[in-house]
Amino acid sequence: MNTMAEPLTEAISQQDVLDTMDLVHSEIEATVRGVKPQQVIELAAQLRAAPRVFVAGAGRSGLALRMAAMRLMHLGLAVHVAGDATTPAIAEGDLLLVASGSGTTAGVVQNVRTAQRVGARIAAITTDPSSPIGSAAHVLVEVPAAGKTDHGSSITRQYSGSLFEQALFLITEIVFHTLWSADDATAQQLWQRHANLE
């Protein structure tokens, strides 16, 4: 039995939850509205034009990109997640989509360098355009959020990169919906591509 449950419940009020909901909602709204629409348009166009799309990210950013990869697959794009056992080699003309709040995540930077060597194009979502992944990108979406180690940030009161990761998810959803809106496919047609081995 969890002896912490009762005191914790007493310590958290409904107003605490409402205040936190307002905080998270207002920060996400301001951050997503701060993203330049033209950058999102360019990302969507590059995704649609690429013969194959590869996504690479670490930690929670990587999880958000895995969700994005599923949605792009639903659209009929050839998409692969870096590190999966069946992911083929990236090649010239392919598009590598990466995300890192700092733009310096070691594994993501290494993936960018590999993509550069073979002539693949790079799309990056980051808070820092001058970072290694930002400066290497052919297409950049800059997210006006704090980095995960910027604990004294005035941009967010949330913990360690949460705002970037929340915005990343919404930006990729916006890209998906924008691409879908430009397509004639119905939701049922997209759903036929959904995994049936789970």
Residues annotated catalytic, as ranges: 165
Residues 6+ apart with CB under 8 A from 168: 61, 64, 65, 99, 125, 143
Task: Look up residue 192 and give its amino acid.
Answer: Q
Residues 6+ apart with CB under 8 A from 160: 148, 149, 151
Residues in the chain: 198
- Gyration radius from the chain CA atoms: 19
* Alpha-carbon gap, residue 57 to 198, rounded angstroms: 23
Burial pattern 66-97, b for ≥16 Cβ within 10 A else e, equals: eebbebbbbbebebbbbeeeeeeebeeebbbb
User: Which residues face 56 on adjacent strands?
Assistant: 98
Residues 6+ apart with CB under 8 A from 69: 53, 55, 79, 80, 81
For CA atoms 5, 11, 17, 22, the dihedral sign is negative
